[in-house]
Structure 1
């Protein structure tokens, strides 16, 4: 059986130095590159773990590595170091777009314990919610101006966008390769009507970030009905707002992996770890 691989030699040259070293005691790690290919294959094809091709090693190894590195923060740390290298080369576009997308959940994703596992950053609801479409998970993300993910956060599918905005913004944290604090503040934030609230605009204003957020018709009408008491309309740069399609393109890139477009994981940390792996490969590919 021939397996199509996704990690090129050039990509691996960037990823390999960031992988955890072998433990001082105990057995050595299985080959990192093959394990990453195994995880990527599972989520690209949306196949069961047990159907993993023999060329990619043991499915237990790949699954345990996915969970272990989700718990200890290896996936997030690796993505942060890749972002740091890109920022050092001035390759991060700091006109940031924020949006969310709903991913249907397979019925195999249900059935985990109601409360999160002790010692893990697992939400009690496992980021699964019910709506008229059935079980679903919502992925909130911020992308740079070149349609590459900067920060990710998962919630239940019925959750609204606005409450997760500050969580996503707090996860934008790009370390410096030299001295200095990590960069956490974009130049501009673009968002659609779902993020047009006084709280979000005030949050961005306090941080000195220019907001380009479309105002919904009901808010416009309410302000006009109040006359002079309604105050001035918020500033809106229509030309800059045209760049908001970058976050839609970023979502399309992530959803090319069928296992991300439809969630089959019982644990939210496993699903979010796969999202981080996809983000790592997007950044190293481009």
Structure 2
């Protein structure tokens, strides 16, 4: 069956994963051969190269062109709801903060050294501010929304149904963000799946992703620029109760907001949402 020129192509999951793995090894091998120091000292910059190479591959496989991008942008400008985007981002940040406090509190009770190690894990991540900003705020939202929503969520939903597609793609999205805020990442995946179904335009979830990553990255970038001391106050056993109580309160508030979002948009979650005969989903990305 031929796909009309105005439609986007389907992209298969396994070949996409294999291409990403090959790109990762290929770029790393080339840099290792050319200059080992570049590879060792610029991990974020190397990851940016890999990510943008994979984004170009997805663009090619999806059949992206200037006309389709223009149609996508015009549709985006007609549909965008700034208030809803801010609400989703706020909910994600609240849930992530709550789960981080809860997990830290529980680990404090078990092993205080592990808790301090996890709490300080992010201190050495951003070794290059510019590359980190591009990686976190630009390439990650584009790549992850294209892969997890357009490829993974869509393909799984077509093979099974939207509910399984939403669950599996969001869980895998959370696993990719294996950190203290993993629960928040899974819920974020669910929210962006719903937004994708509601608006039929991947630029809406991308906007949410851009804004979320930008806001949560600001403290790190500011501390990096200020040259402030990297000394961090260590957690103690006495912090556990406070973390657990505060974390539970914040998490419950976030979940109430998330459930309200689901109830408000439940009509857009349809089991046959990717039936192109019904929805013509491929006309927009």
Normalising by the smaller structure, the TM-score range is: under 0.3
TM-score (norm 1): 0.27
TM-score (norm 2): 0.27
Higher relative contact order (CA 8 A, sep 6+): 2
Structure with the larger helix share: 2
Structure with the larger strand share: 1
